[in-house]
Amino acid sequence: MITINGTLGTGLYTRSGQIIQLGGPVAVILSFVVLGILVWAVMQSMTELLCLWPIPGALPLFVRKFVDEELGIAVGVTYWFTYSVGFAALIASAASILNYWTHNIPGITLGIIYIALPCVLICINKLEIGLYGLFEAITGAMKVTFLFIILICLIVTHARNDISAATKLSWKGSPEYDSQAASDYAGALFMCFSIATFAYTGVEIIAASAIEAKWKTSSTIPQQTREALGDNQTAQSAPPNPPTYQDPGVPQPENEDATALPLATNTIKLTAGKVPIFVAVVYTLSGVVVSLGLYQSHKDLHKLSWIKYDDRGTPMSPFIIVAKASKIPGLDHVFNAFILFTALTCANTNLYVASRTLYGMAKNVHDENLFLKFFASFKQTDDRFVPFRAVVASAVLFIWLPFLQIPEDFSDSFSLEEVVEILAQMGSISIVIVWACQCLAFIRFYRCIKEHQFDLAKAKIRLWEDREAASSKAKSSDYPYRSHGQPLLAGVAFVGCLFILLHIVFLVLWLILKAFKGFRSGLTFFVKLDAKNTIAAIEALNVARQRSIETEEQREQREQREQREQREQQQQQE
């Protein structure tokens, strides 16, 4: 449910209006369908890797092991940035939604939305993970219910009222588009794809929530599965009932239900495989229904903030516009309350994902550098096992951005719409970068296990053989999940992500990290995946998977054993 909660946000309720204004109602359908197909393709590749290694910090770790170490670091930072800045974007969106009621009341936006509500969301994220999960489940169910209520109300409204001539022209005539933003319809449509991306941010949240997921109990794990993953050494030492909390550094509550190897694959397959389809269908259906009550040139639709329009009205959600036109008393206020609730709960989920991503990155820092020591402090947890420092840092680092629109503070301030649009586009570009890198990681994973299948077999790693034997439609005990049409599907998804990306700012971070590494051994942009490095990468992921299910006692024993071995090595060298 957390994936649904993080995906169903203001992208549908507000950005769909901008798509209608930019490319007409047909663009809404095309944008949501095309992005839905792209996201499904990306999640196919991501799901296969996650089912093999359901471990904390999986997304950047896959890139580090199969593509490039510095690129993996950049992906981790980018993924955290996506949800941290997304938190700020949703707070700004909530201010825009609340402004429907409070535009004549000074101080409400600043006092409630920008200050009080972020503090409330921080407190919610401080809840013990069990209570937080219950909160996500309840609010997620409410959001889905609200969405279907809105759709039913719109359908009833259209049935009672005739569709206007302007709306019919938008559907039947030649495609309408914003000529001030694009020179032709194709250009406007491609811009709509970029705008629609923000609505799909969150479909991969299952990867971040694996840190604290509580999986179903299983008494046995097939030995073949462990050996197929190259884990024959750790399989025999696996505890019979390890904790379900996925982070080995977090103390485990007593009497916690657990499994030897958490049965995450069923949850991951269900979430990653079905959620993109569900979201695409719901978004497309909602776009069609709301478009029947609008036309492309409506003055109150959200417009691109960087273009000066002569007929700019009061920007509001297209769902609110249709509700006002229905002449049903109070319907627009009910819709606005639903949309405000959606924005705030989605902001809460964004903060959760950002904080756990920062926590996961901090767990991998092992350096005596002063800055890195400070960064590593974000891995500390409170008595509820919540990384509260990471929560606060993720909340406050970009929460100041919406304040840029307050005219009392800046002589040349941004409008609220400009702030929302800038933050949304920043988040959209960042998440597409992460998606593209996951596709690239899968392509290289697929190539290396195929190319080195015989060397891997000698190391008792039978990934390629078991993948070939598995069916994407049948449950295999040796290979958890085989995605469709690989590696072609991953390649198409990778190209699709690159097509959406019109910015190259991300490359700067990667190149800077490469420069820090130096050129002593020559500049190579991808890690060399020969047989030796492939085995090492897979074994490292297996170790991470095994450590993710250790008990606190087992973790302490392992650390003591490693320290003892390190002292013995030092004595031998002396």
The pLDDT of residue 475 is above 70: no
DSSP structure string for 167-214: HHHHHHSSPP--TTT-SSHHHHHHHHHHHHHHHHTTTTHHHHHTTT--
- Convert the pLDDT of each residue in 301-332 to its tens digit: 877 766 666 666 677 889 998 898 888 889 99
Which backbone phi and psi does 404 adopt, to 5 degrees?
Answer: -65, -20
Please check whether residue 197 lies inside any domain of the structure.
yes
Give the separation between CA 568 and CA 156, rounded to whole angstroms: 77
Please check whether residue 210 lies inside any domain of the structure.
yes
Please check whether residue 543 lies inside any domain of the structure.
no
Give the separation between CA 72 and CA 57, rounded to whole angstroms: 10
Please check whether residue 14 lies inside any domain of the structure.
yes
Give the separation between CA 266 and CA 489, rounded to whole angstroms: 22
Q: Output the pTM of the full model.
A: 0.81
CATH code for the domain in which residue 43 is found: 1.20.1740.10
Please check whether residue 476 lies inside any domain of the structure.
no
* Segment 372-391 mean pLDDT: 84
pLDDT at res. 525: 59
pLDDT at res. 315: 77
- Convert the pLDDT of each residue in 433-448 to its tens digit: 999 999 999 999 999 9
Q: 264-291 and 165-172 are packed helices; what angle lies between their axes, rounded to 10 degrees?
A: 120
DSSP state of 526: S
Q: How many domains does the chain have?
A: 1
SS3 233: helix
| Range of the structural domain that residue 335 is part of | 2-215+263-451
Amino acid at 46: M
- Convert the pLDDT of each residue in 149-180 to its tens digit: 999 999 988 888 777 676 776 677 667 788 88
pLDDT at res. 406: 60
Please check whether residue 122 lies inside any domain of the structure.
yes
Please check whether residue 508 lies inside any domain of the structure.
no
**Sign of torsion over alpha carbons 503, 505, 509, 514:** positive
Please check whether residue 478 lies inside any domain of the structure.
no
What kind and span of H or E run contains 323? helix 318-325
